[in-house]
Amino acid sequence: MKTSLRTTRLQLTEPLRISRSTMTARDAVWLTVEHDGQHGYGEAVSSVYYGLDAAALERLLDVESEWLGGFADPESALEVLRDAGRPGVPPSVTAAVESALLDLVGRRADRPVHRLLGPGAPPEPPSAPTARTIGITSPQHAAAQAATLSRSGFSLLKIKAGASDPADDLTRVRAVRAAAPQARLLLDPNGAWSFTTALPLLGQYAELGVEAVEQPLPPGTPDDLARLAEKSPLPIIADEDAVDFEDARRLAGRVHGINVKLAKCGGVTAALRIAELIAESDTALMLGCLTASTLGIAPAVHLADRARWVDLDGHLLLADDPWTGIGGADGTVRAGREPGLGVRPRRRDEPRRAEPC
C-alpha cells in the first residue's frame, strides 16, 4: 500500500471561545492510503489540549505510513489495528489511520462504513439531529445565533459556559432559551466549575430547562464528578474525564453520560467497545468531536444511531469545509449509501448548503 500526507489550515467562521481558550483555526493533516488504484482518507487535527501540533501529527503519521507499508492489503492492516491497536500512538493518529483503512476497505467491498461494523450494523445509513455549539459570547450574539440555527432546523443547541462571572453564563442561556424556546439545550463548562459552585448552578440551569451538563468539574477528579452526578438535578456527562476504555469503565453507572470522541478514544473500534461497555449500565452514550472537516467527522456519523446525544458539528463551524458528504446544515447529520465513508472533496464552485438531505 502507498500513503501520502497533506496538511491544511481549517479556519473557523468566527472565533470559538470556551472556558480555557479561544480558537480561530485548526491544522488538519490528511492521510491518503492507496491500493490497487483505490484510495481511502483519514484526518487528524491539531490540538493544544492534547499537545499535538501539525508538525507532530506529520511525524507520527509518517511512522504509521511505514507501518501500513508492511501490509499486503488494507483488510489485513485493518484487522491487525482492530485486534491489537497501536500502543503508544496518540488516539487521534490511530483514529485517522483507522478512518483511511475503513474508507478504503469499504470502497473495495462496495459497502458504506456502517455496514462494516459487525452483525449489529444497521441496514440503513445512520442519521441523527446534531447539537450546534454556541461559544462564550454576548447574550445578544448568542440569541441571534440560536434564532438562526432554530430556523435552519437545529433542535439541539450546546452552549459553552465557564465565564469568569457565572452570572454571564446564566444570562446567555436565558437569552438562548428566549430566542429558541423549543430547542433542547446542553451546557458545557469544560471543567470550569468547582464542586461547591456546581450544585447551585446546576439547580438554576435545571429551572431553565437545560437537558444535561458536560464535564462541569476540572478533569482529573472522576470520583468527584461521580459524586456530583449523584446529587445533580441534571444529567452529568463526562468528557475530559472519559478519554479511553478504562476511564469509561471507572465511570460507567456513576455518571449519566460519557462523551465519546474518536480522536480522544482512538477511533471507531475503540468507540464501539466503550458503547458496548456502558450499554450494560445506566450511562448513556454521547458522540462528540473536535473541530474538524467533514472528513474528520464522517467516521463518527456512521455510529450516530447508537447515541443518546449527538454533537457532530465540528465541520459546521468552519468558514470553508474542504469536504462534503454528511450534511448537517439543516441540523441533521447523515451517513451516505456510498462505499466507504461516503465523503469527497468539495468543488470550489460548490455551495456549502448544496449537500443532499
Among 55, 107, 52, which residue's Cα sits nearest to residue 78? 107
* Crossing angle of the two packed helices 268-279 and 294-301, in degrees rounded to 10: 40
The set of residues, in sequence order, having a beta carbon less than 8 Å from that of 290 and lying 6+ positions away, is 26, 45, 47, 92, 261, 263, 296, 314
One-letter amino acid at 74 equals: P
Q: Pick left, alpha or beta for residue 334 (phi over 0 → left; psi -120 to 50 → alpha; otherwise beta).
A: beta
Q: What gap in Å lies between CA 180 and CA 102, rounded to an integer?
A: 38
On whether the pTM is more than 0.75, the answer is yes
Cell 474518536 -> residue: 262
Mean pLDDT by 10 residues, the chain (357 residues): 97 97 97 98 96 98 98 98 96 98 98 89 90 98 98 98 97 98 98 96 97 98 97 98 97 98 98 96 97 98 97 98 98 96 86 42
Contact 255, 226 (CB under 8 A): yes
pLDDT value of residue 351: 61
Q: Pick left, alpha or beta for residue 42 (phi over 0 → left; psi -120 to 50 → alpha; otherwise beta).
A: beta
Contact 110, 338 (CB under 8 A): no
Torsion angle, alpha carbons of 79, 83, 89, 92, to 10: 70
pLDDT value of residue 355: 36
What backbone phi and psi angles, to 5 degrees, belong to 307? -110, 150
pLDDT value of residue 352: 56
pLDDT value of residue 54: 98
What backbone phi and psi angles, to 5 degrees, belong to 41? -130, 145
Geometric angle at alpha carbon 244, from 40 and 216, rounded to 5°: 115
Contact 324, 344 (CB under 8 A): yes
pLDDT value of residue 353: 47
Grid coordinates belonging to 20 = 480555557
Among 325, 254, 330, which residue's Cα sits nearest to residue 293? 325
Contact 323, 294 (CB under 8 A): yes
Beta bridge partners of 213: 187, 236
